[in-house]
């Protein structure tokens, strides 16, 4: 590789683009354009925080799970999600080094409202049906988005996703097992699943993000595709979700919450009613049904366990 110290910024960028076009993996200590670094920081820190915040809706159901078997299953899932979050924040931390920042700064960004987490984790989990639906459809949606980045040009993220995606498959199976049991149960249990699906439908559609920045005023999909962090657009991912899960939803005798939804055979796309993107913008600004309650829980936990971080830091130093 050419000596970077002898190259202009334009030459460095040209070489960088050549590397990712050739399929090379960029590592934490490699030169990278600022736009690429910032896109990665925003994506990976949001992903990591979403894994941590995403454990909280299901954590609420650990003491209320209907059996010991279900309780152990959801406890293991919560533990996995927290582990995913810590792994991803470590990846993000390496990217933050040039700015003199670390994971602690990311947590403060979360508490200050500067770091967002996925819209679905602001939602209320009213019933056991909600807990099952998170595993089945929310984790199912996450698998679709994350497997699209298994070949990401940034090596540390791609490698972390290998482990995360493998474990998310088990999470989706766990959720599907809960939903199947309820769907094959009493009328009340079937109604519980339908009710959960109705309430979560718009949030599931929003999960993939707007089709373009024109919808909400911003979208990071263009820059992530440009730098080969991902390969598909938000709408392509949403269509892949429909392809996989609409037939499964219908096979359980459930009704799609959108009565207008249908498959356009000529254009090979699902036609559906757009969710309320104004509501999406409100939710990701921490104005969702459970946003503040979960942020307060995360904040209290972070403050109460400061002594652990201090002790570890003293040991390292």
Task: Tell me what the pLDDT averaged over the chain comes to.
Answer: 94
**138 pLDDT more than 50:** yes
User: Is residue 16 domain-resident?
Assistant: no
Q: In this structure, is residue 2 part of a structural domain?
A: no
pLDDT for the residue numbered 315: 83
Which pLDDT score is estimated for 97? Answer: 96
Instruction: Find the range with the poorest average confidence among 5-9, 89-93, 144-148.
Output: 5-9
Q: What pLDDT does residue 5 have?
A: 73
Determine, yes or no, domain membership for 7: no
pLDDT band at 219 (very low <50, low <70, confident <90, very high): low
107 band by pLDDT with thresholds 50, 70 and 90: very high
Residue 2 in this model has a pLDDT that exceeds 80: no
Q: Distance of alpha carbon 240 from its chain centroid, rounded?
A: 16
Is the pLDDT score of 175 beyond 70? Answer: yes
pLDDT value at residue 309 = 85
> 152 and 230 in contact (C-beta within 8 Å)?
yes
Instruction: Give the pLDDT confidence score for residue 111 in this predicted structure.
Output: 96
pLDDT given at position 1 = 47
What mean pLDDT do residues 134-158 have?
97
Contact yes or no for 301/236 (Cβ under 8 A): no
- 3-state percent helix, strand, coil for the chain, nearest multiple of 5: 70, 5, 25
- What average pLDDT does the segment 139-146 reach? 97
CB 186 within 8 A of CB 128: no
Q: Is residue 67 part of a domain?
A: yes
- Whole-angstrom CA distances from 132 to 42, 120, 125, 128, 275 are 29, 14, 10, 6, 22
Which pLDDT does position 253 carry in this prediction? 96
- For residue 282, the enclosing domain spans 22-316
Q: What is the mean pLDDT of the segment spanning 146-157?
A: 97
CATH assignment at residue 278: 1.20.1260.10
* In a domain? residue 9: no
Q: Residue 310: what pLDDT?
A: 87
pLDDT in tens, 275-311: 999 999 999 999 999 999 999 999 999 999 999 988 9
Mean pLDDT of 235-239: 97
What average pLDDT does the segment 131-159 reach?
Answer: 97
Residue range 147-174: average pLDDT? 97
Cα distances from 80 to residues 45, 51, 58, 74, 305, in angstroms, run 17, 9, 12, 10, 20
Percent of residues, the chain, with pLDDT higher than 90: 91
Q: Is 282 part of a structural domain of the chain?
A: yes
Whether 4 is covered by a domain: the verdict is no
Average pLDDT over residues 203-227: 84
Domain membership of residue 12 (yes or no) is: no
Number of structural domains (the chain) is 1
Tokens of 159: 């490698």
The stretch 39-53 carries a mean pLDDT of 97
Give the whole-angstrom CA distance, residue 288 versus residue 122: 5
Closest CA to 57 of 88, 78, 73: 78
d(CA 279, CA 283): 6
């Amino acid at each position: 590789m050419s000596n970077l110290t002898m190259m202009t910024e334009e030459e460095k960028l040209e070489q960088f683009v050549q590397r990712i076009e050739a399929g090379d993996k960029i590592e934490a200590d490699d030169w990278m354009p600022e736009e690429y670094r910032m896109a990665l920081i925003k994506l990976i820190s949001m992903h990591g925080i979403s894994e941590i915040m995403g454990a909280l809706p299901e954590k609420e159901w650990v003491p209320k799970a209907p059996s010991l078997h279900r309780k152990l299953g959801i406890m293991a899932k919560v533990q996995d999600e927290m582990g995913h979050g810590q792994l991803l924040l470590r990846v993000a931390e390496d990217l933050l080094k040039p700015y003199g920042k670390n994971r602690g700064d990311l947590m403060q960004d979360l508490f200050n409202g500067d770091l967002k987490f996925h819209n679905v984790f602001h939602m209320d989990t009213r019933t056991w049906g909600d807990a099952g639906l998170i595993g089945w459809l929310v984790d199912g949606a996450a698998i679709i988005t994350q497997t699209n980045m298994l070949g990401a040009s940034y090596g540390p993220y791609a490698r972390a996703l290998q482990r995360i995606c493998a474990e998310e498959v088990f999470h989706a199976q766990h959720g599907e097992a809960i939903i199947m049991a309820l769907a094959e149960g009493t009328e009340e249990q079937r109604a519980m699943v339908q009710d959960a699906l109705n309430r979560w439908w718009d949030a599931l559609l929003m999960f993939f993000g707007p089709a373009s920045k024109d919808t909400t005023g911003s979208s990071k999909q263009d820059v992530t595709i440009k730098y080969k962090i991902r390969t598909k657009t938000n709408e392509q991912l949403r269509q892949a979700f429909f392809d996989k899960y609409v037939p499964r939803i219908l096979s359980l005798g459930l009704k799609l919450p959108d009565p207008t939804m249908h498959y356009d055979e000529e254009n090979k796309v699902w036609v559906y009613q757009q969710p309320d993107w104004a509501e999406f913008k409100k939710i990701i600004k921490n104005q969702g049904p459970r946003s503040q309650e979960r942020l307060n829980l995360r904040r209290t936990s972070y403050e109460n366990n400061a002594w652990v971080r201090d002790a570890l830091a003293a040991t390292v130093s």
